[in-house]
Structure 1
């Protein structure tokens, strides 16, 4: 006999299969092409282009980018609160999409918005390159932006845990509001204020690591209680583990070792 949990998951899968996604997200080729161009520019063509040029200042672009990110994350939190009836923090609960056309529509509209939001975050690396801050184009930075976009694609096409999957987005949006607000302040403040805010930068790294720990905790609960496709579980867990290790490694090198220059992947 099919359990209530598996029946709920089947209903969610049926709803997802009936959705017609925008052509840019209907298959992976658009995303793969974008990521290919991104990697080629930030690793090869961009540094070559900047080799004999002075760094661009790009202050207005940086301020605009940070403002857009903060406002976008506030919108995301609002939508998640609506979809989850303000109960997204109950991360162990199994949540399907239900049968309400309004809920299904807003679920996927949010997923599409997240796809473009994560695409816009690729601009950060481009800014690093154009400002000749190639040391900030670390493997962790590239992996982070590369993998988050692929995870949103998985959210659109292969999510079998319904609204529970937005717990990760909820946490990430909270972190990004703090992070991009800090970057916005440092983009417009004088050097004295930036120095005074140095402890905040350290705290943001700690918050990011806590975020990954909470995400892994939810994955364990969702897998045990609700079930999760093995491939999705494997890839998602791998990504989060790599990022947790990467941020911990950065933290130990940047804050527990003698300073060796700035290397944080941030738009400052």
Structure 2
């Protein structure tokens, strides 16, 4: 639904300027990009790395709880039919469905902004190698996709299929990061295969999302400009994670020290 149509929505779901004004989002992303690539590394150059263990544990736990909440809300919004991803949908006719559709979209906006903290943690812990181009691209693009979900979605609640898949992956991923942050080295080493599985899950979700995109184009007549941008982002992330998978898990034994994905919360 276009932002310009928000005036026709019930007052409870009126879209505020925070969500409609792209410059709010753009400003935050520019500041994020500047800090993690320039200001942050310069600030840490002559300083010792911060531990930040409590912050890391809290961040991972919040992400797990948040993703469980997102999954629950997606089931409600779609009347438990989210797995029928090929169907054409609207956002429902009942006021409660419409309200919770937008409430979840707003929640996702702030949730994706909170994920930017991961890169900041990398910088403050002097783990600049983990601030890869793929990592930055992933976090920047997900925020823009939620902006489109709020303001320019014409696929109804079918757009929540990608959110649903991503939230499932993140429940496993952040749970693993939380455990890895508190467990001893032997347990972490024993869980090494889980790292590979998480990356496989990430690639699988992107493949399934692209299948849904194809169905929406053929069956639902989705506007091409939205699909082109969305598809470009998903394809870019798929190949980025595939490249990471090949280098991290198909390479030499030394790659075992690498994190399972570009969005580690450790």
Superposed displacement of residue 17, structure 1: 6.2
Equivalent in the alignment of 1:129: 123
Pair 1:262-2:252 in alignment: no
SS of alignment partner, residue 96 of structure 1: coil
Equivalent in the alignment of 2:223: 229
Equivalent in the alignment of 1:65: 59
Superposed displacement of residue 16, structure 1: 5.3
What is the TM-score when the length of structure 1 is the normalising length? 0.93
Cα distance in structure 2, aligned partners of 1:267 and 1:105: 32
Pair 1:204-2:194 in alignment: no
Cα distance in structure 1, aligned partners of 2:120 and 2:98: 35
Cα distance in structure 2, aligned partners of 1:16 and 1:212: 30
Equivalent in the alignment of 2:25: 31
Cα distance in structure 2, aligned partners of 1:54 and 1:197: 29
Q: Deviations over 1:111-140 (max 9, x none)?
A: 000000000000000000000000000000
Equivalent in the alignment of 2:94: 100
Match of 1:192 among 166, 186, 194: 186
Once the two structures are superposed, the pairs formed by residues 135-214 of structure 1 within 5 Å of their partners are 135-214=129-208
Cα distance in structure 1, aligned partners of 2:217 and 2:205: 18
SS of alignment partner, residue 52 of structure 1: coil
Stretch moving more, 51-60 or 252-261: 252-261
Instruction: Identify unmatched segments of 5+ residues in structure 1.
Output: 1-11
Pair 1:18-2:12 in alignment: no
**Alpha-carbon contact 2:6-2:15 (below 8 Å) kept:** no
Instruction: Identify unmatched segments of 5+ residues in structure 2.
Output: none
Cα distance in structure 2, aligned partners of 1:179 and 1:222: 28
Cα distance in structure 2, aligned partners of 1:188 and 1:203: 20
Cα distance in structure 2, aligned partners of 1:97 and 1:254: 41
What is the TM-score when the length of structure 2 is the normalising length? 0.94
SS of alignment partner, residue 88 of structure 1: coil
Runs of 4+ that moved beyond 6 A: none
Aligned residues: 257
Superposed displacement of residue 15, structure 1: 6.2
Q: Deviations over 1:141-190 (max 9, x none)?
A: 00000000000000001100001000010000000000000000001111
Q: What RMSD over aligned residues (CA atoms) do the two structures have, in Å?
A: 1.4
Cα distance in structure 1, aligned partners of 2:208 and 2:8: 32
Superposed displacement of residue 229, structure 1: 1.3
